[in-house]
Structure 1
Amino acid sequence: MRLRWPAGPGYLVAEVLAPVLLHASPGGPEIAEADIRTQFGSARVLAVVRQRGGWFGVSVPERSNGTLACLPNSGRLLLYRVRDRLVASLSTRRLELLRAGRPVLRTTVAVGRAADPTPLGRFAVTDRLIIRGATHYGYGALALSGHQPNIPQGWGGGDRLAIHGTDDPASIGLAASQGCVRAGDAAVRALIADVPLGTPVFVRP
């Protein structure tokens, strides 16, 4: 059963209600199965970037940066829209949350250093994670669908891109991270509380 796209403003997302196959292209080879939960246990909500016939192009961590996965519009999905978007500027080292086009949060961030640059492009929020105990990630993180392109030797934290807190507040405003976007814990706390899964994240020069 093909679902109607919800009308109105905002960005289309698709929550996975039953496991669904991801394809390299509409009707093309299967590349992975999207379950109802992410690897971190969140509801699986996919940001829809393109629509072609009965197929959606979605931003997922199973694909490389800038490459979409495709899945058919079906009753295995719950379609709705989110009003938020996050915009990170690497040159100004600022992160902005906009809701229905209006800014609701602006904060200074740390970005990737020259050897480990933060990748440009459009990504999506896949998880909202509160991290218990003292870690390099501070209060928590918004995990994103993208990947850090250059992982330092010996780094064991995986290559997923994220917006996260920090145990080094002096680094905020600098090009100091290994590719992720670091924000102060107060801003990260607000983002985790307010930003819906599937929210698009635009990283600009």
Structure 2
Amino acid sequence: MSGSRKQGRPGGWAFQLVAIALAAGSVALAGLLSLGGDDSKSGQAQSGASRPAPTTRNLSDEQRSSRWAHVLGPTVARRRPDAGSPQVLRLTTRTSDRTPELVLALGELRAPDGSRWVRVRLPMRPNNRTGWVPRATLGRYYEVTTFLRVDRARLRATLYDRGRRVWRAPIAVGTSSAPTPPGRYYVRNRILPNDPNGRYGVFAFGTNGYSPGLSDWPGGGVVGIHGTDKPQLIPGRVSHGCVRVENRAIGRLRRLMPLGTPIEIV
């Protein structure tokens, strides 16, 4: 299948840096530093300058304003914003569908040593994992104002733009033995199927979510949102975990939902 890319608006430094208060830590650190030196030479406490506090900024609220970025080169997502922290996932520049890899950026931190780290949602099992990657390993930020909510109980999906509903349609979700996994995800790629009359219909969105139990289907079990060649089964619980939408409705969603759009499956 061939990929179709659509980017949101370039993001900016729209959020004010929030200082992380280290009041108690600074007092303790100053106390420790005052004990340093050779007490035999001087009975006076020596003073030491505390390190500057790290600063953070929020990048995505995952509803009205969110940011994503391409992965520029192979990199490691870590548990904490530290090069020595344990590895969570090794990211590459391409998805299993051979489209450019991207991540949803949740927040950015500038460490006291000047290094910058970004907390991102990750494409991996188990679902709903996040990690930290160096800012230099990501491209420019793109902003999206859309948000998709998938309601498995009501068998309905709704797209919002800046909090306003702009699209809604009945859906089919996974069976009880192969359920559509709940959680927070994002649109990882946009795909034009080779056969518009096939099982994926006229269009498909790939997400960063995976079936918890199935891996022997496209992309290793990636949860997709796509059209269908069996519209009579919608609404229903008939898929292997993907979200099926009638072709006419998925055609409208194609025009409204860009890359990086946050998704909540409930």
Q: TM-score, length-normalised on structure 1?
A: 0.86
In 2 relative to 1, CA 137–21 (structure 1 residues): closer, same or farther, beyond 3 Å? same
**Which residue number corresponds to residue 47 of structure 1?**
104
CA contact (8 A) 1:130 1:141 kept: yes
Q: Which moved more, 1:65-74 or 1:177-186?
A: 65-74
- Greater C-alpha Rg: 2
Alpha-carbon distance in 1 for matches of 2:73, 2:236? 41
- Tell me the CA shift for residue 102 of structure 1: 0.6
1:16-52 deviation digits (Å, cap 9, x = unpaired)? 3x214132312224431331x4332433331123444
The match for 1:33 among 91, 94, 117 is 91
Pairing 1:140–2:194 present: no
Q: Which moved more, 1:135-144 or 1:55-64?
A: 55-64
Alpha-carbon distance in 1 for matches of 2:137, 2:76? 15
Pairing 1:23–2:77 present: yes
Alpha-carbon distance in 2 for matches of 1:84, 1:181? 18
Q: Which has the higher helix share?
A: 2
CA contact (8 A) 1:32 1:62 kept: no
CA contact (8 A) 2:69 2:138 kept: no
In structure 1, stretches of 5+ residues that fail to align are none
1:97-148 deviation digits (Å, cap 9, x = unpaired)? 1111111100000011111111111001011011022421111210000001
- Tell me the CA shift for residue 73 of structure 1: 1.8
CA contact (8 A) 1:14 1:48 kept: yes
DSSP 3-state at the match of 1:78: coil
Moved over 6 A (4+): none
**Which residue number corresponds to residue 67 of structure 2?**
12
Of all paired residues, the percent bearing the same amino acid is 29
The match for 2:250 among 168, 173, 188 is 188
1:34-80 deviation digits (Å, cap 9, x = unpaired)? 31x43324333311234444322222323520111321223742013
In structure 2, stretches of 5+ residues that fail to align are 1-10, 16-63, 111-115
CA contact (8 A) 1:63 1:69 kept: no
- Cα RMSD of the aligned pairs, angstroms, is 2.2
**Which residue number corresponds to residue 156 of structure 1?**
217
Q: What number of residue pairs does the alignment pair up?
A: 197
Q: TM-score, length-normalised on structure 2?
A: 0.67
Q: Which has the higher strand share?
A: 1
Pairing 1:173–2:238 present: no
CA contact (8 A) 1:59 1:67 kept: yes
DSSP 3-state at the match of 2:252: helix
DSSP 3-state at the match of 1:179: coil
